[in-house]
Amino acid sequence: MLSMVAVVAAAFGTAALSAVAGFGGGVLLLPVFIAAFGTRDAVAVLTIAQLASNGSRVWFNRREVDRRLVGVFALGAVPAAGAGALLFATAPLPALTRVIGVFLLVTVAWRRWKPHAVGLDDAAFAAVGAASGFSSALVGSVGPMVAPFFLARGLLRGAYIGTEAAAAVVMHLTKLVVFGAAAVLTVTSTSIGLALAPASAAGAWTGKRIVDRLPARVFVLVVEAGLIASGLLLAMTGG
């Protein structure tokens, strides 16, 4: 019982964090879920919990979502997420988290050195979708990995939160279809994930109330601080 209370509290808190920074919830939830459910079930449960969290963020920011950009992202993300989910079903690669962690730290440094250098055209953005879709299927959540590229498209506050969340929903739905077909998604993991959905939605609502009050400059600093924290966490604990 105490374990489930801790998991529910973690789902709420990390969903609130994601609603403010646009990412981070999955990264912080994954170690908690692994301890509670084991590695393979943890990724499946995390996918459902993140679907609820991201879906709530899309709804709360629905008027500001850049639907065209989500479509461009999905062109690469959907097939890559499907391929990654098939690979995860037989050969999960947790060491990939270290690579992502280092990538995040390098990205923040690059943004500071050349703040306009990470802007991408549509073709390159679809490639980012492919890389993140594939990686998400292997490590559960890579929100921090794509955050700099959404920011570079000029999205802030609700537009950034909602658009990034909508892109994540596309990836999570694709993964769930493949996980179900590959028998990774069990009745138990599905039930646990659905049970955590209300806490994730409540956390997203709480975070939305916070982000609406943040100045644009402070918002970007919060996101970059989250990138650094997530990068260090992944680089030190991956594998």
Confidence (pLDDT) at 127: 92
The rounded percent of the chain whose pLDDT value lies above 90 is: 18
Checking if the pLDDT of 2 tops 70, the result is: no
Q: Does residue 205 contact residue 20 with C-beta atoms inside 8 Å?
A: no
Question: In the predicted model, is pLDDT for residue 170 greater than 80?
Answer: yes
First to last CA, the chain: 29
The predicted pLDDT at position 86 comes to 85
The per-residue pLDDT of the chain, averaged, comes to 80
CB-count burial class (<10 Å; 0-12, 13-18, 19+) for 192: buried
Q: Which of 150, 164, 154, 145 has the alpha carbon at shortest distance from 231?
A: 145
Higher pLDDT, 54 or 225: 54
Please tell me the predicted confidence (pLDDT) of residue 24: 63
Residue 239 pLDDT exceeds 60: no
Residue partners of 147: CB distance under 8 A and separation at least 6: 21, 22, 23, 164, 223, 226, 227
Tell me, what DSSP letter sits at residue 3?
H
Confidence of residue 59 (pLDDT cuts 50, 70, 90): very high
What pLDDT score was predicted for residue 96? 61
Mean pLDDT, residues 101-127 taken together: 73
* Residue ranges per structural domain of the chain: 2-237
Rounded-to-integer distance, Cα 44 and Cα 139, Å? 10
pLDDT of 201 over the 70 cut: yes
CA distance 196 to 214: 28
Contacts of 163 (CB under 8 A, 6+ apart): 64, 65, 66, 69, 70, 150, 155
What's the burial of 83, exposed, middle or buried (CB within 10 Å: 0-12/13-18/19+)? Answer: middle
pTM of the model: 0.75
Share of the chain above pLDDT 70, in %: 82
Which band of pLDDT confidence, cut at 50, 70 and 90, is reported for residue 126?
Answer: very high
As a residue count, the chain comes to 239
- Distance of alpha carbon 211 from alpha carbon 215, whole angstroms: 9
Closest to 212 in 3D by CA, of 164, 154, 168, 161: 161
